Structure 1
Amino acid sequence: MVFKMIELYTSDKPKVLIIDDEKDQVELLCLQLEDEYLPIPAYSGKEAIELVKAKLPDLILLDLMLPENDGYEICSTLKSDPEYRFIPIIIISRFFEKTNKMKATRCGADDFIHKPINRFELKTRIKSLIRIKKNYEALQESENRYKQLFNNSPAVTLLIDPVDYLIADANEPACAYYGYTYAEMTAKKITDISIYSRERNRKISQQVFSEKKGHFYSCHKLASGEIRHVEMYINTINIRGRELFFTNVYDVTASKKIERELTESEEKFKQVVELSIDGIIIGANSGKIVDCNEAACRIFGYGKEEMLELNVDNILREDFMQSIPEIITTGKAVSENKTIESINKRKDGTFFTAEIATRTFKLGDEDRLIVYVRDITERKKAERDLKSSEENFRALVNNTLDGIIILNFEGEVIAANAAVGKMFNVELEKITGTNIAKYLAPESVPVAIRDQINVLNNQGGYLSVYKAISSMGEHFWIEGLGTKIIYQNQPANIVVIRDITVRKKAEEALINAKTAAEVANRTKSEFLTNMSHELKTPLNSIIGFSDLLKEEIAGPLNEKQSRYVQFISSSGKNLLEIINDILDLSKAESGEEDLNVEKFSVDESINKVISVVLPQAQEKNIILNYQSENRTLWITADEGKFRQIMENLLSNAIKFTPAGGSIDVTLKQEGLLVTIEVKDTGIGIPEDSFEKIFKPFIQIDSSLSRNFEGTGLGLTLVKKYVEMHGGNIYVESKIGEGSSFRFELPVTRKRTVEPVLKVLE
Structure 2
Amino acid sequence: MENRRIVKERENFIGLSTELKAKCNIIEILRGREKKHLIYLKDVISNISEGLMVLDKNNKFDFCNKAIYNIFDINDEKEFVFKEIVKRFVFEHLIVNDFQFENYIKNALENARNIKNLVMKITDKESNTVKYIDFSSEAVTDENKVVLYTIITVKDITEIKKHEMFIEDQTNFIKDLVDNVDIPMAVLNYPSLKIRVANKNFEDFIKYVLNDKKEVTILNSYWNDIFQNVEDDSIEKALEFCGKIGKEYTCSPYCIKDCYDKDRFYKIKFLPYKFADGDIKGICIYASDITEEINHSMELENVTKLKDEFFTVISHELRTPLSIIYSSLQLAYNIYPKEIGPNIDKTLSRIEQNCARLLKLVNNILDISKAEAGFIVLDELNFDIVALTEYIVTSINHYAKSKNIDLIFDTSKEEQMVTMDKEKYEKILLNLLSNAIKFTPEGNKIIVELSFVNGNVYLKVRDTGIGIPEDKINFIFDRFSQVNSSLSRRAEGTGIGLSLVKKLVEIMGGTIKVKSKVDKGSEFTIMFPKNIIEIKEEKRYTIIGENIEDKISTEFSDIV
TM-score bucket (shorter structure): 0.5 to 0.7
Q: Give the alignment partner of residue 454 of structure 2, picking from 671, 676, 683.
A: 671
Aligned equivalent of 1:516:
302
Alignment of 1:247-262 (within 5 A): none
Amino acid at match of 2:306: A
Q: Deviations over 1:148-173 (max 9, x none)?
A: xxxxxxxxxxxxxxxxxxxxxxxxxx
How much has 1:613 moved relative to structure 2? 0.9
Amino acid at match of 2:438: K
Aligned equivalent of 2:553:
none
Alignment of 1:60-459 (within 5 A): 318-319=46-47, 385=163, 388-401=166-179, 403-404=185-186, 406=188, 442-443=229-230, 446-447=233-234
Residue 603 (1) aligns with residue 415 (2): no
CA distance in 2, matches of 1:420, 1:660: 67
TM-score by length of 1: 0.41
Aligned equivalent of 1:717:
500
Amino acid at match of 1:535: P
Aligned equivalent of 1:527:
313
Aligned equivalent of 1:623:
406
CA contact 1:403–1:417 (8 Å) conserved in 2: yes
* Secondary structure of residue in 2 paired with 1:743: strand
CA 1:440–1:468: 2 relative to 1, 3 Å: farther
Q: Deviations over 1:76-124 (max 9, x none)?
A: xxxxxxxxxxxxxxxxxxxxxxxxxxxxxxxxxxxxxxxxxxxxxxxxx
Q: Give the alignment partner of residue 640 of structure 1, picking from 419, 423, 431.
A: 423
* Secondary structure of residue in 2 paired with 1:630: coil
How much has 1:412 moved relative to structure 2? 6.3
How much has 1:609 moved relative to structure 2? 1.0
Amino acid at match of 1:667: L
Q: Which has the larger radius of gyration?
A: 1
How much has 1:519 moved relative to structure 2? 3.0
Q: Deviations over 1:545-592 (max 9, x none)?
A: 43246513xxx3444344434444444444434433333333333322
Q: Deviations over 1:573-621 (max 9, x none)?
A: 4443443333333333332222222344332221111121122233444
How much has 1:716 moved relative to structure 2? 3.1
CA contact 2:255–2:263 (8 Å) conserved in 1: no
CA contact 1:674–1:747 (8 Å) conserved in 2: yes
Gaps of 5+ in 2: 1-32, 34-39, 50-65, 71-155, 208-212, 534-560
Q: Deviations over 1:521-565 (max 9, x none)?
A: 44134314422333234324432343246513xxx3444344434
Same amino acid, percent of matched pairs: 24
How much has 1:416 moved relative to structure 2? 5.6
CA contact 2:467–2:516 (8 Å) conserved in 1: yes
CA distance in 2, matches of 1:645, 1:749: 16
Residue 654 (1) aligns with residue 437 (2): yes
Number of equivalences = 385
* Secondary structure of residue in 2 paired with 1:694: coil
Amino acid at match of 1:396: I
CA distance in 2, matches of 1:660, 1:453: 64
Residue 738 (1) aligns with residue 536 (2): no
How much has 1:663 moved relative to structure 2? 1.9
Aligned equivalent of 1:708:
491
CA distance in 2, matches of 1:473, 1:582: 41
CA 1:634–1:385: 2 relative to 1, 3 Å: farther
Q: Deviations over 1:407-461 (max 9, x none)?
A: 6977666776677678779999x65565657866954674555566667778777
CA contact 1:621–1:659 (8 Å) conserved in 2: yes
How much has 1:702 moved relative to structure 2? 8.5
Aligned equivalent of 1:584:
367
Q: Deviations over 1:153-203 (max 9, x none)?
A: xxxxxxxxxxxxxxxxxxxxxxxxxxxxxxxxxxxxxxxxxxxxxxxxxxx
CA contact 2:46–2:67 (8 Å) conserved in 1: no
Moved more, 559-568 or 637-646: 559-568
* Secondary structure of residue in 2 paired with 1:690: helix
Gaps of 5+ in 1: 1-284, 286-311, 322-340, 346-376, 751-761
* Secondary structure of residue in 1 paired with 2:413: coil
CA 1:394–1:404: 2 relative to 1, 3 Å: farther
CA RMSD of aligned residues (A): 5.3
CA contact 1:672–1:746 (8 Å) conserved in 2: yes
Residue 547 (1) aligns with residue 333 (2): yes
How much has 1:666 moved relative to structure 2? 1.9
TM-score by length of 2: 0.53
Aligned equivalent of 1:593:
376
CA contact 1:525–1:590 (8 Å) conserved in 2: no
CA contact 1:462–1:481 (8 Å) conserved in 2: yes
CA distance in 1, matches of 2:363, 2:203: 65
Q: Deviations over 1:343-401 (max 9, x none)?
A: 9x9xxxxxxxxxxxxxxxxxxxxxxxxxxxxxxx9x99678535632442244225522
CA distance in 2, matches of 1:648, 1:469: 51
CA contact 2:311–2:365 (8 Å) conserved in 1: no
Amino acid at match of 1:726: G
How much has 1:624 moved relative to structure 2? 2.3
* Secondary structure of residue in 1 paired with 2:499: helix
CA contact 2:188–2:282 (8 Å) conserved in 1: yes
How much has 1:513 moved relative to structure 2? 1.4
CA contact 1:679–1:740 (8 Å) conserved in 2: yes
How much has 1:626 moved relative to structure 2? 2.1
Moved more, 519-528 or 702-711: 702-711
CA contact 1:543–1:572 (8 Å) conserved in 2: no
Aligned equivalent of 1:205:
none
Q: Deviations over 1:242-273 (max 9, x none)?
A: xxxxxxxxxxxxxxxxxxxxxxxxxxxxxxxx
CA 1:390–1:524: 2 relative to 1, 3 Å: same
CA contact 1:397–1:404 (8 Å) conserved in 2: no
CA contact 1:727–1:743 (8 Å) conserved in 2: yes
CA contact 2:464–2:521 (8 Å) conserved in 1: yes
Higher RCO (C-alpha 8 Å, min separation 6): 2
